[in-house]
């Protein structure tokens, strides 16, 4: 019978549906008899789902202001006296 | 039994959604630096912060990327692949920044398969979690726990993990960005997920809540 560690090694491919049938069958057989591995599989799936729902990190206000100023300053430097600021040429 | 009804997790789904949202909305119009900042700085910062693990480095990289974008504004007329390009230059800038960082961390790379006995059993009890994939409350507390676990991932897994499971990029794109083969991306992603699961388990296992 497949061990818990072997199941863990193949878990990603199993969930992605990329395992050959004989291996998937071995995993299903193991899961029928191993409560901890069912919990392990479910919590692995929860981990993936939670991270996919993470919102973007919020930029600290002071950093935002500094970066905005840097972009503005860079823009002015780039335009360098040109009257076409913000209208880069082709 | 639910656990046996495994479905493909469709790692690419989120990436498509992001790309569609990021298509330059001003058809034929010019980006201004202000628009670049407002529309892209948060995402660039977010990715850099998660890859590098601290605000100071993330700020340096975000500024570097934004200035690169402003410098090349005239090449962005109506381009639909801006999001992909932004991901790519942010990843490159973050990796370059990490390489030259004097106090680069030398964290021991944890092996997620150390959590098993020599006979292949779980080394500790694996209890059910209070959250299920269909019932996840994204509270500030939960989010902070996850972010901390990401920061604590070894860099070798963190980059792939963030790009795949947080940013939702396809594995092939991640391999191209990081110079890794597809099997290497999948292996690192799986190991990153296992370490994340292990870090989060004490907070979500039923008996501890």
Q: Which domain holds residue B171?
A: 118-208
Q: Which long-range contacts (CB under 8 A, 24 or more apart) does B138-144 make?
A: B138/A50, B138/A53, B138/A54, B138/A55, B142/A50, B143/A54, B143/A55
Residues B55 and B128 in one domain: no
CATH number of the structural domain spanning residue B164: 1.10.10.10
Among candidate residues B100, B131, B164, the one where a domain is terminated: B100
- Burial of A61 by CB count in 10 Å (0-12 exposed, 13-18 middle, 19+ buried)? exposed
The pLDDT value given to residue B91: 96
Number of domains in chain B: 2
Q: Are residues B122 and B197 in the same domain?
A: yes
> pLDDT tens-digit profile of B137-181?
668 888 899 999 999 999 999 999 999 999 999 999 999 999 999
Contact A46 B129 (CB under 8 A): yes
Chain centre to alpha carbon of residue B99: 19
pLDDT tens track for A17-31: 999 999 999 999 999
Q: Look up tokens 């193991």; give the residue.
A: A30
Which is nearest to B143 in space by CA: B205, B209, B208, B200? B200
Q: What does the block give as tokens for A81?
A: 């006296």
pLDDT per residue as tens digits for the range B111-127 = 888 889 889 999 888 99
> pLDDT class for B4, splitting at 50, 70, 90?
very low
- Give me the CATH number covering residue B72: 1.10.1740.10
CB-CB under 8 Å, A51 with B146? yes
* Residue at token pair 């029928």: A32
Domain-embedded: residue B126: yes
Residue corresponding to tokens 């944890």: B110
Check whether residue B53 and residue B122 sit in a common domain.
no
Nearest to A67 by CA among B168, B209, B114, B63: B63
My answer on whether B148 and B190 are in the same domain is: yes
Whether residue B15 is contained in a domain is answered as yes
Predicted TM-score (pTM) of the model is: 0.81
Q: What is the mean pLDDT of each run of 10 residues along chain A (90 residues)?
A: 95 96 96 95 93 90 91 81 44
Interface test with A, best of B15, B43, B60, B70 (most A CBs within 10 A): B70
Report yes or no on B110 lying in a domain. Answer: no
Any chain B CB within 8 A of the CB of A45?
yes
| Contact between residue A30 and residue A37 where contact means Cβ atoms under 8 Å apart | yes
Q: What's the pLDDT at B133?
A: 58
Q: Measure Cα distances from B130 to A40, B63, B144, B194 in Å.
A: 13, 40, 17, 18
Structure token digits, residue B160: 């792939």
For B68, the 3-state DSSP assignment is: helix
CA distance B166 to B162: 5
Phi first, then psi: give them for residue A60, nearest 5 degrees: -60, 145
Q: Is residue B96 located within the same domain as residue B123?
A: no
Mean pLDDT, chain B, rounded, equals 80
* Per-residue model confidence (pLDDT) at position B101: 78
Q: Side-chain half-sphere of B123: how many Cα atoms within 13 Å?
A: 8
Task: Output the six-digit token pair for B40.
Answer: 């892209």
Close Cβ partners of B23 (under 8 Å, ≥ 6 residues apart): B80, B82, B83
Among the candidates B45, B74, B100, a domain finishes at B100
Residue B150, domain member (yes or no) = yes
Could you list the beta-strand ranges (E) of B54-201. none
- The residues, any chain, with a CB within 8 Å of residue B110's CB and separated by 6 or more, are B154, B195
Residues B49, B96: one domain? yes
More confident residue, A80 or B70: B70
B110 touches chain A (CB under 8 A): no
Closest Cβ opposite residue A56 in set B42, B73, B121:
B42
**Does B66 map to a domain?**
yes
pLDDT of residue B31: 66
Asked if residue B4 belongs to a domain, the reply is no
Last residue of a domain, one of B34, B69, B100: B100
Q: Which residue bears the tokens 């199993």?
A: A14
Closest CA to B159 of B194, B183, B188, B182: B188
- Rounded Cα gap, residues B36 and A63, in angstroms: 16
pLDDT for the residue A34: 95
């Amino acid at each position: 019978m497949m061990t818990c560690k072997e199941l863990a090694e193949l878990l990603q491919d199993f969930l992605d549906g990329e395992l050959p049938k004989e291996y998937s069958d071995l995993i299903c057989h193991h899961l029928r008899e191993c409560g901890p591995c069912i919990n392990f599989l479910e919590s692995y799936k929860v981990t993936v789902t939670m991270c996919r729902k993470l919102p973007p990190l919020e930029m600290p206000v002071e950093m935002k202001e500094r970066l905005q100023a840097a972009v503005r300053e860079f823009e002015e430097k780039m335009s360098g006296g040109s009257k076409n600021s913000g209208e880069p040429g082709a | 039994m639910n656990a046996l009804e495994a479905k493909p997790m469709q790692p690419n789904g989120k990436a498509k959604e992001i790309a569609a949202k990021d298509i330059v909305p001003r058809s034929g119009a010019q980006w201004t630096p202000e628009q670049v900042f407002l529309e892209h700085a948060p995402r660039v910062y977010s990715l850099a912060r998660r890859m590098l693990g601290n605000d100071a480095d993330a700020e340096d990289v975000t500024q570097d990327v934004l200035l690169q974008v402003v410098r090349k504004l005239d090449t962005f007329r109506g381009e639909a692949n801006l999001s992909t390009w932004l991901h790519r230059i942010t990843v490159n800038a973050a990796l370059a920044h990490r390489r030259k960082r004097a106090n680069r961390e030398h964290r021991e790379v944890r092996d997620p398969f150390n959590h098993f006995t020599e006979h292949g059993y779980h080394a500790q009890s694996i209890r059910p979690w209070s959250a299920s994939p269909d019932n996840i409350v994204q509270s500030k507390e939960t989010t902070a726990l996850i972010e901390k676990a990401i920061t604590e991932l070894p860099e070798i897994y963190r980059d792939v993990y963030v790009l795949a499971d947080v940013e939702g990029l396809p594995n092939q794109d991640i391999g191209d960005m990081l110079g890794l083969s597809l099997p290497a991306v999948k292996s690192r992603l799986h190991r990153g997920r296992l370490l994340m699961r292990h870090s989060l388990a004490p907070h979500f296992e039923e008996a501890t809540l």
